[in-house]
Structure 1
Amino acid sequence: MELESILEKHFGYHSFKTGQKEVISSILAGNHTLAMLPTGTGKSLCYQLPGLILKGKILIISPLLSLMQDQVEQFKRFGEKRVIALNSFLSTEERNHVLSSLSSYKYIFLSPEMLRIPFIMRRLQDLDISLFVVDEAHCISQWGYDFRPDYSKLGDIRQKLGNPLTLALTATATSKVREDIIASLRIEEINKIESTIDRPNIAMYVENVPDYHDKQDRVIELVTNLQKPGIIYFTSKKAAEQMASLLVDKGICRAMPYHGGLDQNSRILIQQQFIFGQLDVICATSAFGMGVNKENIRFIIHYHMPMQMESYLQEIGRAGRDGLPCIAVLLHSPGDEQLPIHLAEGELPSEQQIDWLFKRISNEQRLMDVRVQLPNSFKELGGFSDIQWRMVEDFVNSPHRHTSQLEELQADFKKLIKERLIVKKKNIFQMKKWVESTLCRRELILQYFDETLSGKIPFCCDQCGLKLNDYQTGQQTLTLKENEQLWKDYLAKILTNRELSK
């Protein structure tokens, strides 16, 4: 059966999006595959469809609970019931039931942290795994913008599972990060399918506003006038809640906040309300949006400057998945870089925390054993966040560390943290430089990902003459409709050029 026939029969689509068919064909040919596809091009289909053909199980490693749940719901909407997400959403009773009947599921989603549980690993080793999928694979690389220590262990996990056929998926990875992904997964031969990260239907607009109060007023004005639905991204949970309340109190639209501080049921409810059109605007932190399958988002507003280019690209990629014109607006005030710098510093253990921790350890031993079970009380007493503590455990128990002397280990850890902070600050100031640039914004983003702009496109960015009026409510302008084919032709051209250059 042709792939297009399977696509239409099981998923209701008549044609593949950018890169999908190439990735699926590579997997079905038995090739380990690294796929870098732009946000909004349906990366999940790259393992959904092969699962209908491959005999064994499809194991998908996913970084976020909300992302897993959304993808499970997508499967069920397509009529696939043999899907499960092994995560903390399950009660103990539900988890025991799932594990006892794991062989009855075709698609199994897990967090990398779940793979640390020996009993779960033993159950997975009993299965016939046809495809090992690493979603958001940039989380593997220590130089990636969203590094997760547990992701870096997936090479070991693959070996324990018998080195199954592997698909690594990402939308935002520099060439350095892509090479890091391959090395970490311990794959010698891999088929790389790298499409352009450009989404020509997303116009980019940066607007300077004097201060915080002006920024708040400007958001209210933008949401009032722009076509909806939309997402407003904040770095602060409190700011997201305040803006959602303002929009509702002023009768501007139906809005809700979304952030990691909400309980699981609230997050799922808000996400579903937004997907099914019961909310117009989500005021969100970066916890929202990854994998959310809503095609008609017309605008993305960034209230705070993102910490790096990769996360900016991920977040604006929520818009315009229906292929129609949409806009990404970033509001910038003087000193906006201070908040991401503060957050970057907070993600890493401080020197004082490291000194305190190693002093506590030294009271008990002078040498660090091959693997040490650090007491959870140390985490609480030292004031370590979950992210910081995962970094501590990962470093202390790394099989690749070169010393067991506590003093040397302490110095090495401080050096690593300092290097990480330098990289994070470099990314922040790179973002600031992009915000303040007078050059084409699209061209600069493509350069960052080692691509070149093939030619100017209509409705590109504020530096190329873009006007916000074209995206206002009631202004689904004929001009945009008429120019829709122009950017589609442009996209086809650059994809053709990339194929010819391979």
Structure 2
Amino acid sequence: MMNEDILYQTLKQRFGFDEFRPGQKETIEAVLKREDVLAVLPTGAGKTLLYQLPGYLMAGSVLIVSPLISLMQDQVDRLRQRGERSVVMLNATLTGRSRQQVLKNLRSYRFIFASPEILAQPPIKQALRNCQISLLVIDEAHCISQWGPDFRPEYLLLKNIKKELQNPPILLLTATATPRVQADILQKMDLNYERIKKVIRSVNRPNIFLAVDRVANDQEKRKHLSQWLHQLGGGGIVYFSSRRLANELAGELAAATGFRVAAYHAGISTIDRFRIQQQFMHGQLQIVCATSAFGMGIDKDDIRYVIHYHLPGSLESYVQEIGRAGRNQKPALALLMYAPGDEQIPRQLSQIELPSQIVVEKVQKHELPSQALGPQAELIEFYLAHGWAYAKLYTMLKKRSQLTERQLRAMLDYVNETRCRRAKIMRYFGERPVEENVCCDCHQNDWQLSDLKLPTPPALVIADQWDWQKQLRILFAKESKSG
């Protein structure tokens, strides 16, 4: 077993910390003993350390599978900012000679980041087989259960990747997974629930005050949001389900409040997303109006509040997103705004329509174009290409629909809770509720912001105090040198 002194020396020398956060040391020790590990640690628990520290103590390469390019880029940037050159990200932007050079020298990289989709490509798999993969990391592992049957079916192939790489130890990381989801993740990865090491910490974040603002309609909701932000000041994220509304309200709120506000979503260019993310991290932006594309991997510890303008589709998503507030352990606010009928948006977003068996069979026989399969054509073709019969696909999608409806009902139960919202969340995740004083608006329905004792809003940093363009040039220069 690794000497404990070496662990603490590496922690200090490489990362600048004196102590491990709860769950970190236990997980790292299991990884270094080459155990398979499922780590369910709350947002802000420092999950990147769980594979980065072992990466410096193990021979070979660490392969990190991540769901979003922005999330991978953030981790790559952070490693490079600390002077780590032996890191690479495999994605669709890597083409031509650069791609050939990277794949040729892939075994020389200490940290290799990749999406599930790119791992399905034969040249990538061949290059990885020539590497010594000492650890396979699945970041945001709940996606195996949540997205596998949905719009990221490549997650279902990760169990094959593990076998093709000669079964390296695996580290599954997530912030939110109910006992059912934990079991589903392990089943889809062909892992034994009894034999895998499980490091599970409570989802409870006692410093976050939980509240719901019930309004009559969207017009009233807009008015209330502006009022909340006037009172709260900067240092917050407002989540939307609609890119259009994120754009629209970012402009409205900036004009109404005088704060620096920007919209962030997948429809914005990569360079603009990087700029907005960095400006928010460094205090040049006070509020971000975002879709769920924003937040994964954002290590900003002084976010004072998270507001949801639209109803999330599940408590899993909600808990993960509100967990981005109050990482410094100071008081923070999670506010969910709700108008009657809001549940229709996540319901519509989660619907997957399967065409008739006749249409599917005609597409398979090339008697109809693949477009005849409808908006989910790519998803359906994936399953058909992997040998799924129509009846099996129909059954799976029906079960998925039933599950998403149950998740949405649990979210509505949270909205309608009258006793304790924190207890509702903890019971949902299979935990025993804790007795706390005023932890949500159910305990104090006439609560005021002044009751929460939120930290003072951070001062706005003027542009020339932090030159994001210079930082971007530095990062790209490092990338070109390391590539």
2:239 matched to which residue of 1?
Answer: 233
Describe how 1:60-459 pairs up with structure 2 within 5 A: 60-141=64-145, 148-188=152-192, 189-345=195-351, 348-351=352-355, 356-362=359-365, 378=370, 380=371, 382-384=373-375, 388-399=376-387, 401=388, 409-457=389-437, 459=438
By how many angstroms is 1:103 displaced?
2.0
SS in 1 for 2:238: strand
**Contact persistence 1:470–1:476 (CA under 8 A):** no
Q: 1:51 to 1:363 in 2, by over 3 A?
A: closer
SS in 1 for 2:22: coil
By how many angstroms is 1:424 displaced?
1.0
Q: 1:264 to 1:389 in 2, by over 3 A?
A: farther
**Contact persistence 2:62–2:134 (CA under 8 A):** yes
* Residue identity opposite 1:174 in structure 2: T
Quick one: distance in 2 between partners of 1:129 and 1:396?
31
**Contact persistence 2:359–2:372 (CA under 8 A):** no
* Residue identity opposite 1:100 in structure 2: K
**Contact persistence 1:255–1:279 (CA under 8 A):** yes
Q: 1:389 to 1:20 in 2, by over 3 A?
A: farther
Quick one: distance in 2 between partners of 1:392 and 1:355?
14
SS in 2 for 1:330: strand
Q: 1:91 to 1:397 in 2, by over 3 A?
A: closer
Quick one: distance in 2 between partners of 1:474 and 1:169?
30
By how many angstroms is 1:264 displaced?
1.6
Deviates more, 1:263-272 or 1:117-126: 263-272
After superposition, give the CA deviation of every residue in 1:249-295 in whole Å (9 maximum; x if it has no partner).
Answer: 23431111111111222212211111111111110111111111111
Describe how 1:477-492 pairs up with structure 2 within 5 A: none
By how many angstroms is 1:126 displaced?
0.3
Quick one: distance in 2 between partners of 1:85 and 1:69?
7
By how many angstroms is 1:79 displaced?
2.3
TM-score, normalization: structure 2? Answer: 0.88
By how many angstroms is 1:179 displaced?
1.4
Quick one: distance in 2 between partners of 1:464 and 1:47?
40
After superposition, give the CA deviation of every residue in 1:456-492 in whole Å (9 maximum; x if it has no partner).
Answer: 15x5111122734237898749xxxxxxxxxxxxxxx
Quick one: distance in 2 between partners of 1:91 and 1:464?
56
Quick one: distance in 2 between partners of 1:224 and 1:473?
16
* Residue identity opposite 1:263 in structure 2: S
By how many angstroms is 1:53 displaced?
0.3
Quick one: distance in 1 between partners of 2:332 and 2:150?
26
SS in 1 for 2:432: coil
Aligned residues: 450
After superposition, give the CA deviation of every residue in 1:111-142 in whole Å (9 maximum; x if it has no partner).
Answer: 00001110110000000111110111111126
Q: 1:462 to 1:92 in 2, by over 3 A?
A: farther
TM-score, normalization: structure 1? Answer: 0.85
1:40 matched to which residue of 2?
Answer: 44
Quick one: distance in 2 between partners of 1:46 and 1:415?
37
* Residue identity opposite 1:310 in structure 2: E
Deviates more, 1:53-62 or 1:24-33: 24-33
Q: 1:18 to 1:415 in 2, by over 3 A?
A: same
* Residue identity opposite 2:230 in structure 1: T
* Residue identity opposite 1:358 in structure 2: E
Deviates more, 1:410-419 or 1:442-451: 410-419
**Contact persistence 1:247–1:254 (CA under 8 A):** no
Give the gaps of 5 or more residues in structure 1: 365-374, 402-408, 478-502
RMSD: 2.3
Deviates more, 1:332-341 or 1:300-309: 332-341
Q: Quick one: percent identity of the two aligned structures?
A: 41
After superposition, give the CA deviation of every residue in 1:62-118 in whole Å (9 maximum; x if it has no partner).
Answer: 011111001111212222221111112434343233222212210000000001110
